[in-house]
Structure formats: structure tokens, C-alpha cells
Structure 1
Amino acid sequence: MKDEEKTKEELVSEIESLREQIRTMERSGADRREKGETTARTKIEEELKSSEERCSKAFHSSPCLMAISALSDWRCVDVNESFVNITGYSRDEVMGRRLPIITAADQTRMFNMLMTEGSLRSLENRFTRKTGEDRWGLFSAEIISIREEKCLLLVVDDVTDRKRAEEALRESEEKYRELVENANSIVLRMDEKGIITFFNEYAQRFFEFEDQDVRGRNAVGTVFPQTDAASRDFRDMVEKVCRNPEKHLTNERESMLRNGEQVWISWTAKAIRSRSKNINEILWIGNDITERRRFQKRLVESEERYRTSIESSNDGVAIVQGDKHLYVNKRFVEIFGYDSVEEVVGRPVTFIVHPDDRERVATTNRMRQAGGTVPSRYEFKGVKKNGDTLCIEVSAALTKYGGEPISLVYLRDITERRSLEAQLLQAQKMEAVGQLAGGVAHDFNNILTAIIGYGGLLKMKMKEDDPLRVYTEHILSSAQKATHLTQNLLAFSRKQILNPEPANLNDIVMGVRSILRRTIGEEIELRTVCSRENLTVMSDVVQLEQVLINLAINARDAMPGGGTLTISTRLVQMDASAISKHDVRSPGAYACITVTDTGIGMDEKTKARIFEPFFTTKEAGKGTGLGLSTVYGIVSQHNGFVRAQSKPGEGATFEIYLPLTQVQAEKRSQREPASLAGGTEVILLGEDDPTVRLLSKQLLEEAGYTVIEATDGEDVIAKFNENRNRVDLLMLDVIMPRKNGREAYEAVRVIRPDIRVLFMSGYSDDIIDRRRIIRENLNFIEKPVSPSTLLGKVREVLG
């Protein structure tokens, strides 16, 4: 029967029935939202909260109005796009300010609920847009932590349209038809068989149907897909409504537009009964949740991407609950040498930790799980399945899973990094000790120069039968031994002067064999195995021979009961990876000398200190502790490096690596010694050490020379300017105050380009200057020097 054909009484009865239904809907509204629509929304909000830190994009694309505020003062930290679109406020208008959609009274009420109940769920509340328009929303809130600051996550589902529809229904039956016709929600009425009897304008626009196209048609095949599953779900929903006519039942289901496009609708269904309680029709109100479902799908995809990134991470990742591993990724398994994830999951946190660190790691984990203050990043000594140890760096954070606290733990194997750091520390320590040793040698050389010089002068003045001559010879002999000691210190500190030239390493090894045999004695067998390759290196042959002699002496002392000393050479190619593993300056071809003995060997503690100067395991008086430190210094100065391998009772092996050169080795020539005769020339002597200056002056004057003294570089220049036409030779210390020897020479050469010069030094802090002297073939003599050698060199330079 049409509405206009009904009697007044029937209309009144129907209106009264509608009033009753509206009141019932109002009373059950909260329940409906709690159990239906709000359940889905709350689920989304909870999913959003749990992934907000890794899914900020999802936060901003949520269809729900969302905001994050500091809990301390409610000032806004972030809002999403829906907040801007719905409220009309721009991000700049709300960031750092109190949210304009929450009044002071609402703020107090929500805060009290949060404090007493711990969270806020679906609080229906009014809010006002920037334009002044009031809207309704379901307010939900949670207290979260962002960068250790307590914040409030606010989620508002704008239910203004639904609220208006409900209010309009309650206000007037006369407005009912106008409301449903113009509501921004889908409103349908149908009978128990699913035949559509009412289809509001919003539904017509949404589904793209005209009213006459759907009236009288079955909902299945019109707004619901015509599939067995869809038909079954629809019938089940109708049966539930009919069994529970007083209740509002909710359902989210896939629906279909006229063009076949699939959409998702959140439906609320309620039976419409007559005064006699018979079910006349079923009222269906729906809201489009397609974007929400797509958002849920994106969340799932985001979770999957996150899971994939964890599985493919270069770091080990574990989820720890209590003291057990709930989850580990493949990289975690690889780091600790296990075969499968199943071997690790469920086992205690400390089963991968070395006993030395287990208590510390267990305590840290317990405190974190309890919410205590613990470092988020630390290191521990780990244990692999095969028992090997490794250094692990941990980064961990506390979060929740299923409402329970868990630790998300990232582990990184930094064993190689720590090994490289240890090598760097050792290199820095050796450099520091080397600088100290070089400084001592420098000062000592000046003292030795005076001892040897004056001792030589004294010896020259004594008669052959002088009874004191033997004491003088002992003094000079001891001074020469001290000279060798300083040379060893300079070798270790890499400050001594090398005379590099191309030489075949095999020739050096074969040439020193006779010396080595005499050095090690008859009880030790010497074996040499030389490579067939041409191993030409830039080297100071004398210094490399000293390296082999020092290693042979060290091996001899390690084999008191005899044994075998083997020296071999080979060609080695060093790739880029060797640069980080060893102290290699550049990749390429290297010559390697291997010296192996069958002696008592060394433990790790001893091996760590063997290159330190004055370190020795020998008895007092049986070693200076400079043998291996000299080896280290000489090899380093040749741009090479040394490796030592040894275990107690298994002998020792030293490998010396030197870079090859393309320059061909030449035959070494012998220089004839210069004449020791004196002369009558004028020599300008620049020396800052008064003892050495006085000695040199006396020695030169006794040989017939005229000596002009200068105490520093500036004094050299001044004295030369006063005697520029008299001076035949500059005799300059390399390092002097107020201009060094090189600078003084350069200044004088501007005036007299043909001036001759002889540099001398015991040790130069500026090794570059000394090398420049040699490279430019300038004359140089090294302190300490004997009187005869000094006079011979002076005569050689003067010609």
C-alpha cells in the first residue's frame, strides 16, 4: 500500500513504531558502534599505533583524522592529511599549539579518562572546524612514547553524517524521509527475501542506479555480488536480524557498483516492525569503507615489506620475550654459525654469549624487559656454534607484541672492525715508542760525537808505547758499541738514512749465508730455498742483511739444543683486501722472505710485544731487546711489513714483505776511501751543540784549516756575509735553531752559487730534509764520526 493511501490511524501507528525503533537504535547505538563499526576502526588505530614508527606514510594517508600531541602540554607534534582536510586547519596553524578541535573542558575530561582507564575508546564528542562548523567524531586515544617522550595519539572517526542521520530520525518522523533521502550514507529497505523497497538518493549516486532500476529487485545481484558466498552471507545476515529484531547488527562486506567495480561497505541492519511486532522490512544503512580496507591492505603489505627487509638485512635481527628468542632472521643464524632458524628460536638469550659476558647481557635484558634504564647500544663477546668467539655490537629497543613487552634486537658482527682497531692501536703505540727511541738516539749521538772525537784526538797524540793508550782504545771501542746501539734505535724508529738501490732479494739471501752460518753455530742446520722469480726490490742491502742477521740470532737463541733454520723467498700478489688486513700501503707484487725456526715458540702475550724496543725474554745481559724492533723499523722504512706466527713448542715463522720494483738491479761498486790529509782552506762551521762545535773546530784547526764558528742558521748567514770571499766550505748541522742547515745553505748559495757544503747530523726530526740532501747528491756525514773519517770527508769535498 502506498503512503498516501494509508489511513491517518495507520500512519500514526507506523510513525509511533518508527519512534520506538529510533529510540531502540539510540539506546543500542553505543553497543552497535562498540561491536561493529568502531571495532574495525579501533583495530585500524591499534594497527596504526603498532607500526607508526616504521609506517609514517600510512599515518598520513589514513582516512581517519589523526594527531599526535605532547602529553605534558597537549601541544601538537604531528597531524595527518585527513586532519587538515576535515578540520580546515593547515599544519602550520596547529603545529606546536594546542589542538583547536579539543576544548579545555574536553581536554580535562579526556585526560582524566586516560589517567584512570589507561586509554580512551570511542568517546563520542563534538568538535568544531576552522569555519565554525560543528561536527561529531568518535574520539580514541592512546599514550605512546616517541623518542622517550610521552605523547598522545588521537584518532577521530568523523561520524557527523551518521550522527546527523540518527538525530534527524529522533527529532521528527516528518524529517525521516527527507533525512534518508539526503543523508551522506547509503540507506536501503528490503523485505525478508531481499527485495529492495527503498533506495535513497545517496545510494543511487553511489551505486549509479536510478530508483526505478532497483526497486523490486533482489539485493543479491544488484548491490551484492551474485556469488554463492555473497548469497550465503546475505541470507545469514537476514536470518540474524530476524532472530534479533531488537538489535542493530553490523557487517562489513564486499558490494558491487553498477559498472561491476568492487567496493567495501560497513552495513548496520535493523528490523522494522509493526505495532503488532511483526517484521515488515529490514533497514540497511551503509558507509563506504573502501579506502579503509585499502589502507588495511597497505598496512599488511607494509608489514610484509618490513618482514622482507628484516629477512634480507645484513644485521642479525631477533625478537626477545622474557629471556627467550621468539624470532631470529637468517643473518642471525649465519653470524653464529647455525644451520637453521629452528636451532635458535626458543633458546635463552645468553646461549650465544661467551661465559665472560653472560651475566651482564642477561641483566641488561631483564632490566630492559622490565622497563628499566639500560643502554640501547652495547657490545658483548659472542660464541659461535663451533666454539669460535666473535665481537658483537647490539642495538635493542623495547616495544610491545600482543600487548606483551618484547625487545627488538639488532646484532652486528664487528670482529673484523675490532681487529683492525687493535692493529691501528698497535701501530700507533709502535710509532710513539719509535719517536721516543729516535729522540734518545739523536741526543746520544751528539754525546758520542764528543767521546769518539776527543778519544780519537787523544789516541792520535799518544805514543805507541804509552801505557794509557790501552784505556783510550777501550773508551773508543765502547763508544763504537754505543754507536751501534743508537743505529738500532734509529732503525726501529725509521729515522736512519737509507741508501736504497735496486737489488735482487735472492742475491741478498745467498750473499749473507756465510755470515749466518758463523752466527748460528754448527748445532743448527741452515737451509735456503730461493724463488726462481726475479725478486728485485728497492733496498739498502746492508740494512736488509742486518734484518736477516737479527732474525737468525733470535732463532738461534730459541733453539739452544739445535734445530733447523729455513730461509726462503717467494713472489706474492697483494690484492685490495690485503690493505685492510695488513699494513699494506698499496696492492701489487711483493717479495716475501720467510724465516722459520724449530725452536721453543712464543705465546700470544709474548708475540704481542716482540717488536717493542728493549723487550726481551732472555736473561739479563744476554740481549738488548732491540733485535726484532730493528727488524720492524728497517722493513717499515722499506715500505714493507712483517708478520709473525708462533705457538709454544712449535717454533716461529717471520714473513717479511717488500714491494717489487721494475728498476733493474745493478752491480754494486766500491768507493775508494778519501785522503786523510788536512789543508789550509777556510771552513764556516755551523753547529748548535757547543761540545760538538768545539771538538770539530779543534780537529779541523789541528789539520791546518781555518775555522769560523756559527751557533745557528742565522749566524751562519751573518758570518758568511762578513767573510764571503774567504769561505771555501760550509760545514753545517742539518738541524739548528733560527734556520736549519738546509735553509742557511740555500741563503748562502744565492750569494755564492758555487759554494761547497758538507751536512752532518745524528738524527733529524725533519727526515724529509735529510732525504732531499741525498737525492740531490749533496755531501752528508752521519754522527757520531771519528776524526779520521771527518777529516777524510772534508778533504774529499774540498777536492
Structure 2
Amino acid sequence: APALILLIDDDGGMVERGKALEQVESMLSLLPLGLAITDRDGRFLFLNNAFARTAGLREGEKPLYPGDLMIREDKSAVADAVRRYASGPPMTGDLAVRLRAGGEDPVALGIAGVRGLGDAAVLLSIKDNSEETKLKSQVAQATKMQAVGQLAGGVAHDFNNILTAIIGHCDLMLLRHSPGDSDYDDIQQVKNNSNRAAGLTRQLLAFSRQQTLRPQVLQLPDVVADVSNLLKRLLDEKIELEVKHGRNLGLVRADPGQLEQVIINLGVNARDAMPKGGKISISTRTITASDVRDLKSDILPVGDYTALFVSDTGSGISPEIIGKIFEPFFTTKEVGKGTGLGLSTVYGIIKQSGGYIFADSKLGEGTTFSIYFPVHKLSGDQEERATLASPPVKATAKKDLWGSGHILLVEDEDMVRAVAERALTRQGYTVVTASDGEEGLTNLAAQGEGKFDLIISDVVMPIMDGPAMAKQVRAEYPDLPILFMSGYAEEQLRKSIDLDNVAFLPKPFSVAQIAEAVGEVLAEHAK
């Protein structure tokens, strides 16, 4: 830590003391520390350039008292402290104060009583904590976002179980009614609203980085081109959309559908910030490792990136709010005009894709969202096979959902287990159920080898979870196919399960979706 040591001879006369003060001032002016000297009345006698810079003084500005640099609430405390240290025995201490030019973040004001330097009575030191405070704020925000993300992911997972049961029972009831029946429309309405709720849980899972992504190697301009036509239809005539692309952009690996969602969310937010019209700019650019070093970011690692920038000329975001915009359910829109999940979804998609997102804004001038994706490096043979654009969706004939076979269904949630059992039994399958992994293994042993054609299992269960059960099953029955169903992200589960030849069904699912998934797994196994 920096230190200043003064050796003062108190026996000199006033002339010598005056010369000593001049020498001390000339020495202090050369130091990088923010230092100043006041007299017994608290008036400034001297302040060096570092002190003036940290205090936010303009060139040529000369304040009379230290309190003139502080916000109104801190003026009296600083004045009292200076007077107290100016008299009596020499003492040292520090005071947390807020500078008039520094916002709400406090800085440390060091105070020391000095004697033997003529009119000088108090030495003040000030430390520029802005970078340290900014870093602490970023760490605290990242920690908070992680905690909120874990909470959001847990809530979404529990809701997915509930919604699976509601949607499943709606499907089963719809099978017993035909369009035009008095209850058909009511049941359909329940199912439609359940699907809307499922959309909200997907957004929560996106924020918590637990949704299922289908990453591809792609070029950002291809995704921007696909989505810009849709975005134009969502914008008012008074808003201009400008799209620019840089040269020699590196490939990125991400889910094109989710990237489109990111651009649409940012575009709609920009539109809402410009009710009187304006301009939205979407641009891509190559960012080299040298460019990253120049940014001097504590968060963005040095490396090569392909960047996406979405800017608007709207009303901007205030400094008090900008740190909260990625939090779920935070919104500045009127009640009923936004869920507060748009930017949190964007944040989750970018982070889960291995990217970084930053927001810069000035009130009255507009906002820019900067997104950095690491450049995806390909080997020679991969480069030939790289998908540079989203593949077109192929039209498929409606699949026959009827089937036959014996299925072991392992699920700890009674409501999900019940609806899955009824759905599969209705499609022609024979189903044996278990409420956890141990009971599943017991049923498997009791039925004997070759009895079951498929195991369907939840992932997170008490006593023994799905992956632990699956490993024991594979040891004894290596050819038995397994279908996992879960509300968590498929890629995360595949890393934790570490088993080949397993299929995945995301929750919530409908009767048709579970029947189709089972049919596909059994058909693949029969090849």
C-alpha cells in the first residue's frame, strides 16, 4: 500500500516553517496520490493534480473548503472533521464521503493533523475507488444473477412438472370430446394457457442457462438476414432499421433459433424506447484479441470474437436502472405491457452460448447492446461440413402414434407418472411404473431379461436418481434403450449422465409428444 512519511522539525521559526511548507507542497505535487493541505479554519492552502482529478474539479477551478467538493449531506461532517484534526494533538483517521462529481459511490478521505508547517494544519488524502467500486459492483451483480438464475431454474423445473400433468390431462380429456362439445372449448382454453405458462418457464430456464439448445456452427449475418425481415414487420413506420456487416467474420457456435429470439427481443425493446420514431442499427464486426485488450474489460477474456451490436436512438436507460435490466421480472414498462423476462432471456441465451453481453446507455441519446461470441475454430474436415445457415424445416407426415411393447416408467412426481402412464397405455403400450431408481431396478429384476423394451425415467429423483439407475441398467442390460424426461437442459444432462445411446424428452410434454418420442426410440432401436 502507498505510504507518505513526513519528518518535521517543530523548532524552526516562522520563516523556516514557511519554506518547509513550500518544499512539502512541491513534493506533494509530484506524487500520484491525491493530497491536499488546509489551514486551521479548513481553507485549502494547496491541492495536487491527483487530488483535483479524483475530486472531479475542472481546470482552473479552485474550491475554498473541502466541503465544497462533497454532496450536501456530507459537507458538515467533513467540516467538523477538519476542524477537529486542526487542533489538539496530531491524529490520523479516515472518513467515507460522497463527492459532488462522483455520484453515490463513497470514497475514502484520509485526514491527518500536521504541526510545524506554518499555516498548514490538516493533510487530506483521497483515493480514487471508482475502478475498485465498479469491479466490486460487477462481481456482486454477477453473483446475484447466478443466485437468481439458480432460483429461477428450480422454480421452472417444478412448474414444468405441474404443467406436464395439466397439459397431459387436457389432452386425455380432449380425446374423449369432439369439437363442438360444450366442454371442448373450455378444455382447449386450459391447454392453451398452460402452453403460455410453459413459455414463461422456458424463458426462466433461458435466464438460468438451463434450457435445451440446438447449437450449430453458423455465420452471424445469416441469422441477422433471416430475422431482419420479421423484425421490420414488428417496427413502426417511423422507425428506420439499418443493418451493416463487417468483413472476415469468424464462425460462431450457437442455436440459430435462440439467436433470432435475442435479436427480436432487443429490437422490440428498442422500438418501445422510441415511441416518436428513431433508428435501430444492427451490425456485426470482427473483434481481435488486440481489440479486447484495448477495451480493458475485467469481464471479457482476451481472445477473438465475432460481435453483434444492436443500437437505438431512444430515450436511454438511467444509471440507477441499467444494472438491473437483465434481472428476471424487472421491467420499466406499464403494468400488463411486459413480463420483465425479455432481457433476462437474452442474457441467459448469450451466457449459455458461451458469449458475453454488455449494455451502454446515455439518457436522451440511446442504448447499445454489445454481444461477443467466441470465434469457433474448425478442423479441415469440419470446415467442409460446417452449417453456415439455419437448415430449412422439412415438412413431415403426421406420425402414427400407436405402438406396442413393454415400458418401465420411473418418475417420482405422482401427477406426471399418472398422466404419462395413461397416455402410453392409451397408445397401446404395457406400462409398469416406479417412483424412484431403486424401485425401478427392483421391477426390472423381477420381470427378468427381455421383458422391457424401453425405460422412461425422470432425471432428478430422491433415493436414486435417473442417471445412477441408468448406469446400473447399462451394466446388466447394455442394449436396453433409455429415454430421459426432464425440465433441465439436454446438453447439461448429457454431460452429467455420460452414457451413450440415450434419448431426451423435455418437460412439459403433451400426450402426442411422449408417444412420438417413444415411437422414435423404439424404431431406432429396432434398426
TM-score (norm 2): 0.83
1:638 to 353, 364, 367: 353
Q: Cα distance 1:521–1:325, how it changes in 2: closer, same or farther (>3 A)?
A: closer
Q: In the aligned structure 1, how far is the partner of 2:499 from the partner of 2:256? A: 18
One-letter code aligned to 1:550: N
Deviations 1:598-617 (A, max 9, x none): 43434334434322222223
Partner of 1:315: 33
2:334 aligned with 1:613:
no
Contact 1:674 1:796 in 2 (8 A): no
With over 3 angstroms needed to count, the CA separation of the structure-2 counterparts of 1:395 and 1:514, relative to structure 1, is same
Partners of 2:507 and 2:338 lie apart in 1 by 25
Name the structure 2 match of 1:361.
78
- Alpha-carbon offset, residue 398 of structure 1: 3.2
**Cα offset, 1:574, TM superposition:** 5.3
Q: SS of the counterpart of 1:581?
A: coil
CA distance in structure 1 between the aligned counterparts of 2:374 and 2:324, rounded to whole angstroms: 25
Which residue is 2:372 aligned to?
657
Residues 1:777 and 1:659: Cα distance change in structure 2 (over 3 Å): farther
For 2:67 and 2:246, the matched residues in 1 are separated by 51
Higher Rg? 1
User: 1:674, 1:793 within 8 Å by CA — same for their partners in 2?
Assistant: no
How far did residue 565 of structure 1 move?
2.6
Q: Is the 8 A contact 1:391 1:415 kept in 2?
A: no
Contact 1:420 1:580 in 2 (8 A): no
- SS at structure 2 position matched to 1:780: strand
Q: Comparing both structures, which one devotes a greater share of its residues to strand? A: 1
**Residue in structure 1 matched with residue 402 of structure 2 by the alignment:** 678
Contact 1:773 1:780 in 2 (8 A): no
Alignment partner, residue 583 of structure 1: 299
Equivalent position to 1:789, from 513, 516, 521: 513
Closer, same or farther in 2 for the Cα pair 1:559/1:54, shift >3 Å? closer
Please say if 1:457 is aligned against 2:172: yes
Supply the distance in 1 between the matched residues of 2:254 and 2:499 (Cα, whole angstroms). 15
Size of the aligned set, in residue pairs, is 496
Contact 1:524 1:565 survives alignment (8 Å): yes
When residues 396 and 792 of structure 1 are mapped into structure 2, their CA distance, relative to the original with a 3 A threshold, is same
Q: 2:463 aligns with which of 732, 738, 743?
A: 738
The residue type equivalent to 2:436 in the other structure is: D
Q: What's the offset of the Cα at 1:744?
A: 1.3
- 1:188-199 maps to which residues of 2 (within 5 A)? none
Q: Deviations over 1:452-480 (max 9, x none)?
A: 11111222232344343222222222121
1:496 positional shift: 1.1
**CA contact under 8 A between 2:453 and 2:480: conserved in structure 1?**
yes
SS in 1 for 2:98: strand
* Structure 1 unpaired stretches of 5+: 1-52, 56-302
Structure 2 counterpart SS, 1:358: helix
Q: Deviation per CA, 1:567-620: give whole Å up to 9, x if none.
A: 221122355657873532x21222222222343434334434322222223333
Distance in 2 between residues matched to 1:604 and 1:329, nearest whole Å: 30
8 A contact 2:167–2:509 mirrored in 1 = yes
Equivalent residue in structure 2 for 1:510, among 213, 220, 225: 225
CA distance in 2, matches of 1:388, 1:697: 61
RMSD: 3.6
Match of 1:713 in 2: 437
1:737 deviation in Å? 1.0
Picking from 377, 387, 396, the partner of 1:666 is 387
654 and 707 in structure 1: CA distance in 2 versus 1, 3 angstrom threshold: same
1:759 aligned to which of 448, 461, 484: 484
**Contact 2:210–2:492, Cα closer than 8 Å, also in 1:** no
2:207 corresponds to which residue? 492
After alignment, is 347-356 or 524-533 more displaced?
A: 347-356
The structural deviation recorded for 1:490 is: 1.2
Q: 1:332 aligns with which of 51, 65, 71?
A: 51
Q: Which residue of 2 aligns with 1:350?
A: 67
Task: Tell me the distance in 2 between the aligned counterparts of 1:373 and 1:685.
Answer: 80
Over residues 298-349 of structure 1, what are the superposed CA-to-partner deviations in whole Å (9 max), with x where a residue is unaligned? Answer: xxxxx9x999986664422334442134555554355447799x987x9533
Aligned-partner residue type, residue 760 of structure 1:
M
Tell me the alpha carbon deviations over residues 705-764 of structure 1, each in whole angstroms, 9 at most, x when there is no partner: 222211112222222222341122121111111122111111211111222111111137
User: Structure 2: how far apart are the matches of 1:334 and 1:675?
Assistant: 72
User: CA, structure 1 residues 339+648, in 2 after alignment: closer, same or farther (shift >3 Å)?
Assistant: closer
Q: Give the alignment of 1:95-244 within 5 angstroms.
A: none
What SS does the corresponding residue of 2:299 show, helix, strand or coil? coil
Following superposition, the deviation at residue 438 of structure 1 comes to 1.9
Q: Conserved in 2, the CA contact under 8 Å of 1:354 and 1:389?
A: no
Deviates more, 1:461-470 or 1:537-546: 461-470
- What is the CA–CA distance in structure 2 between the aligned matches of 1:516 and 1:337, rounded to whole Å? 43
Q: In the superposition, relative to structure 1, how do residues 315 and 775 fare at CA in structure 2: closer, same or farther (>3 Å)?
A: farther
Q: In the alignment, what sits opposite 1:769?
A: 493
Using CA pairs under 8 Å that are at least 6 residues apart, name the structure with larger relative contact order, 1 or 2: 2
> Is it true that 1:597 corresponds to 2:316 in the alignment?
no
Looking at structure 2, the residues matched to 343 and 515 of structure 1 have their Cα atoms a distance apart, in angstroms, of: 54
The answer as to whether partners of 1:497 and 1:771 remain within 8 angstroms in 2 is no
Q: CA-to-partner distance for each residue in 1:17-55, whole Å, 9 max, x for gaps?
A: xxxxxxxxxxxxxxxxxxxxxxxxxxxxxxxxxxxx878
**Counterpart residue number, 1:472:** 187
Name structure 2 gaps, 5 residues minimum.
Answer: 8-20
